[in-house]
Each structure stands twice: as structure tokens, then as C-alpha cells.
């Protein structure tokens, strides 16, 4: 549902529908800083169960979820092995350096996975005083800036085995982990099983207005509780928001497959248009990265042309643009976008 604008900038732009708003209005609430909000407590239990973990903690955003976990896993001066395009390192405003004083060691392949040998070779024990000791490995699934790539469970298992051998913790930026679970057709706990901690965002493809969650052991989540307070993320009667998240888990998970199909439809349409190019084999989920190689129409100009037609595309970085399908984008919207792209490029 939209007001004539087809907004493909992100899956964060979805608006709560009438049923979700009703669930929010009717939510039972209490003061969550006292642990007394029944709707948040129920959500935390559901999510812990879903990911096969002991506990979970509701937090305001995906960025805060990741940064609390980084803080809880590390000491200042520690090293964290992470994909070079990871959201945690690239798009969280330098928070890892500012809030946890960690050093990042980028390791990763263009498909969002990590090479196990490279991971093993990058680990530093801390015995050599010149080196920052490695403490944590962070992965992302689906991997946003790798084109919404889905990292297969075997790829995670191989990295986790190296982590285990070396006594390192594993963290999953699972902002869109349910998209990955739907594509892989596995239960979320299968993806999470080798991670000590993970996150999930309700405010992306799941369609809730606010909220993310951390899952892990009881001890770990207790540590996170302290850092949530320190980072200013303790909320009070936030059961209103947790109700939206619970509604999303009940109604908006299986349908993520529709978003993936719509992204594929958009890709197929763009592939037939001369001058538009997409990475081979993509998209794997709901994010579609593409470029326009027209001699006179840059990617930026093409995106501006779509905007003039009421179609919004994600901010470009370099010569690459991102279109994201979500629960407010229909098959007809995708068809209209393809038709508009043809008009702009005259083919
Ligand atoms: N991603 C946003 C932008 O920040 C790029 C988007 O539109 O995709 N992890 C991943 C993998 C993410 O994609 C995002 C947000 C976050 C964490 C942060 O979540 P929020 O925005 O809730 O802080």
C-alpha cells in the first residue's frame, strides 16, 4: 500500500498496516527497565526459542543490537575479524571504534562468505605484544552490501570450527536472517546454531516500525542488558513496539518469499534492458544492486529519471544503485518500474 510512490530505497520504509497497529494499541505493557513488560518478555522468549538460544533482549535498532554485542564480547584493543563490506564496520558510524575501541581485521569474499584459510591465517593469539588479540568473528546473513547474498550454513560451520579451535566467539549480524532462512528453507536456529550471539531486525522486511533483538546465552544477554542501559537503549512501556514485532513474526515471515520473487522479477526485467547490468546470479534475496552503463545516462541520472516517475531507488555508492523489494511493493509495482526503466533508456 502506498500513495502512488513506489519506494524501493529500502525494506525499512514499510509502514505498519491496520492489523499491526491494532495489535500495538491493544498490547499489555509495563516498565521494561524493571523487566515488567509482559509483551516484551513474551517476544524475548519467542525469539530465544526461534533461534535455539537461552535468552533474548529487545533493543531499539539493528545498529544498537550489533554494537551492544561487540561491546559485550570484547575488551578495548581487541581485534575483530569481519567481512570488509559488513554493515557493522561500514555503516554504523564508526561505533566499533568509538564505543568498544576494537580494531577490525577485514576478511571476506565478494559473495559475503569468508575464506576459512584466510580467517585462520588472520587470527592473532595476543602472545606477540605487537598484535591485538583476536576475540571475535562477525558474519552477516543475508549480507547487505554483498548484494543481499545468502551465506550457506556450511560456510558458517567451517568458520565456526576455526573459531572454536582458537577460543573465539562468533556473532551474526542477522538484520535479515529470516530472509536467509526462507531462501535456504531452514529453521532460523539452524543458521544461528554456531553463533554465540546474533541479531534480528523487525523494522526491515518484517514490516514493524521499530525494534531489533539480540539472542544468546543467559550470561551473554545479561551482559548486554548492562550495555543497553549504558548506550541509552533502556525503554519503558515498549510493549507497544514488541507487539508489532510479535505480529510481524506471526504474519510476515513466510511471505518474505514474495519479496524474493519480486526482486527476481525486477532483475529479469532489468536484464532485458540494454545498458542495465546486474551481478551474475543475483539477487538471492530482496536486495538488487545494479548499474547503468548508458553512454549518456549515468546510474545517478537513471535513478533521478525514475524519481521523476515516482519510483525511489536506494542511494548510490559509486556507480551502483540498490532496489529493495518489501511488503509494500507488489508485482504490479515491479512491472511499472521495469516499464519506466525502458522509457528512460529508450528501449
Ligand atoms: N541497513 C540499512 C542501511 O543502514 C544501509 C538498509 O537500508 O539496508 N545490519 C544490516 C545488515 C543492515 O542492513 C542494517 C540497516 C543494520 C544492521 C542496522 O539496522 P538499523 O537501521 O535498525 O540500525
Substitution site in 199, 201, 233 for ligand 1 pocket (most atoms within 8 Å of beta carbon):
201
Asked if residue 144 has its Cβ within 6 Å of ligand 1, the reply is yes
What's the rounded mean pLDDT across residues 79-91?
98
Percent of the chain with pLDDT over 70: 99
Q: Residue 32 Cα, ligand 1 centroid: separation in angstroms?
A: 25
Is 209 in a helix, a strand, or coil? coil
pLDDT at 318: 76
pLDDT in tens, 121-137: 999 998 999 999 999 99
Calculate how far, in angstroms, residue 165's C-alpha sits from the geometric centre of ligand 1.
31
Contact present, 216 and 224 (Cβ < 8 Å): yes
Q: What is the pTM assigned to this prediction? A: 0.97
- Residue 2 predicted with pLDDT over 70: no
Cβ–Cβ under 8 Å, residues 236 and 32: yes
Average pLDDT on 37-60 reads 98
pLDDT tens by residue, 168-210 = 999 999 999 999 999 999 999 999 999 999 999 999 999 999 9
- The CATH code that applies to domain 255-345 is 3.90.1150.10
- Bridge partners for 103 per DSSP: 79
**Is it the case that residue 250 has pLDDT exceeding 60?**
yes
The neighbour count for residue 265, using CB atoms within 10 Å, is 16
What percent of the chain has a predicted confidence (pLDDT) above 90?
97
Predicted pLDDT at 317: 73
For the chain, the domains span: 16-251, 255-345
pLDDT tens for 272-290 read: 999 999 999 999 999 999 9
Average pLDDT over residues 93-98: 98
Answer yes or no: is pLDDT of 1 > 60.
Answer: no
- Please give the pLDDT value at position 3: 75
pLDDT at 229: 97
Q: Angle at CA 220, nearest 5°, toward 219 and 226?
A: 95
Whether 11 lines ligand 1, by a CB cut-off of 6 Å, is no
Give how far Cα 293 sits from Cα of 26, 212, 267, Å.
51, 38, 16
Span 155-161, average pLDDT = 96
Q: Are strands 134-140 and 79-82 parallel, antiparallel or unpaired?
A: parallel
Nearest residue CA, atom 15 of ligand 1?
62
Cis bond before residue 142 (omega within 30° of 0): yes
Indicate if the pLDDT at residue 347 is higher than 80.
no
Q: Is 346's pLDDT higher than 90? A: no
Of the candidates 126, 135, 127, the one whose C-alpha atom is nearest the C-alpha of residue 101 is 135
Give the mean pLDDT of the chain. Answer: 96
Q: Does residue 175's CB lie within 6 angstroms of at least one atom of ligand 1?
A: yes
Architecture of domain 16-251: 3-Layer(aba) Sandwich (3.40)
Q: Ligand 1 centroid vs 146 CA: distance in angstroms?
A: 13
Structure confidence at residue 163 as a pLDDT band (50, 70, 90)? very high
What confidence score (pLDDT) does residue 109 get?
96
Amino acid at each position: 500500500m502506498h500513495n502512488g510512490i513506489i519506494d524501493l530505497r529500502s525494506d525499512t520504509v514499510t509502514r505498519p498496516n491496520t492489523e499491526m497497529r491494532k495489535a500495538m494499541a491493544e498490547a499489555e505493557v509495563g516498565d521494561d527497565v524493571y523487566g515488567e513488560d509482559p509483551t516484551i518478555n513474551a517476544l524475548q522468549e519467542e525469539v530465544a526459542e526461534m533461534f535455539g538460544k537461552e535468552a533474548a533482549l529487545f533493543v531499539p535498532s539493528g545498529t544498537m543490537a550489533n554494537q551492544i554485542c561487540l561491546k559485550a564480547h570484547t575488551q578495548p584493543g581487541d581485534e575483530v575479524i569481519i567481512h570488509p563490506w559488513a554493515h557493522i564496520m561500514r555503516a554504523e558510524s564508526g561505533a566499533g571504534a568509538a564505543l568498544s575501541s576494537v580494531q577490525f581485521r577485514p576478511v571476506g569474499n565478494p559473495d559475503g562468505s569468508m575464506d576459512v584459510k584466510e580467517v585462520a591465517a588472520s587470527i592473532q593469539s595476543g602472545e606477540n605484544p605487537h598484535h591485538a588479540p583476536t576475540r571475535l568473528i562477525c558474519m552477516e546473513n543475508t549480507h547487505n552490501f554483498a548484494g543481499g547474498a545468502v551465506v550457506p550454513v556450511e560456510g558458517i560451520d567451517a568458520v565456526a570450527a576455526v573459531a572454536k579451535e582458537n577460543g573465539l566467539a562468533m556473532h551474526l549480524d542477522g538484520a535479515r536472517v529470516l530472509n536467509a532462512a526462507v531462501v535456504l528453507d531452514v529453521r532460523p536456529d539452524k543458521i544461528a546454531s554456531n553463533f554465540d550471539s546474533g541479531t534480528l531486525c523487525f523494522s526491515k522486511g518484517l514490516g514493524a516500525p521499530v525494534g531489533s533483538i539480540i539472542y544468546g546465552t543467559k550470561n551473554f544477554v545479561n551482559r548486554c542488558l548492562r550495555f543497553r542501559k549504558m548506550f541509552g537503549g533502556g525503554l519503558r512501556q515498549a510493549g507497544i513496539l514488541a507487539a508489532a514485532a510479535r505480529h510481524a513474526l506471526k504474519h510476515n515471515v513466510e511471505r518474505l518469499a514474495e519479496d524474493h520473487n519480486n526482486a527476481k522479477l525486477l532483475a529479469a526485467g532489468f536484464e532485458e534492458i540494454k545498458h542495465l547490468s546486474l551481478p551474475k546470479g543475483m539477487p538471492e534475496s530482496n536486495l538488487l544492486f545494479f548499474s547503468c552503463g548508458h553512454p549518456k545516462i549515468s546510474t545517478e541520472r537513471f535513478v533521478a529519471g525514475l524519481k521523476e516517475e515516482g519510483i525511489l531507488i536506494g542511494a548510490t555508492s559509486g556507480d551502483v544503485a540498490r532496489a529493495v523489494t518489501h511488503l509494500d511493493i507488489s508485482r504490479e509495482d515491479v512491472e511499472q518500474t521495469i516499464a519506466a526503466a525502458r522509457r528512460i533508456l529508450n528501449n
